[in-house]
Structure 1
Amino acid sequence: MLYYLIICRSLTYAQRTAAALGRAGITAHIFRTPRQIAGEGCSHCVKIRLHDLEDALAVLRQAGLPAKRVFLADNGGGYEEVGL
């Protein structure tokens, strides 16, 4: 199953991101960013369904919560960065 991970710069931003998406009717789950894609330091990410990306990015732009990076992920552990 494919899904998107929206990388946030902190837990607080991940919480704000998930809350903004939730208010827009988009299901979002927060968790620690997988080590393979975390980069420097620790970060948190928000997982959304495959078909929600376009709407989610629009909601986040309106809320002033731009995504740091976005990855397409699969349950097998593969990650591919998506250009914003």
Structure 2
Amino acid sequence: MLLAKGPKISVPDATIIDLRLRYNFRRHPTPGRQQSLSRAFGCARVVFNDALVARKCAYKYGKYVTDVELSQALTREGAARFQ
């Protein structure tokens, strides 16, 4: 009888079989896709940092900003930046 960590399957003859399935692969994006990914992650980082600053400012003044309020404010700010 095999006892090891991981998913186990019981078969009719009361033997326990340990299955370990793992796939390891790496994607290598084309230069165009790499630029698009960099831009997307850069934008996400800016939005996250802006949200963090807004939450910290609100906390400093004893207020709580809900997710909806934060989303609306960041959307308005982002739209104003690109007009």
TM-score range normalised by the length of the shorter chain: under 0.3
- The two structures have a TM-score, normalised by structure 1, of 0.26
TM-score between both structures, scaled by the size of structure 2? 0.26
Q: Greater relative contact order (Cα 8 A, min sep 6): structure 1 or 2? A: 1
Structure with greater Cα Rg: 2
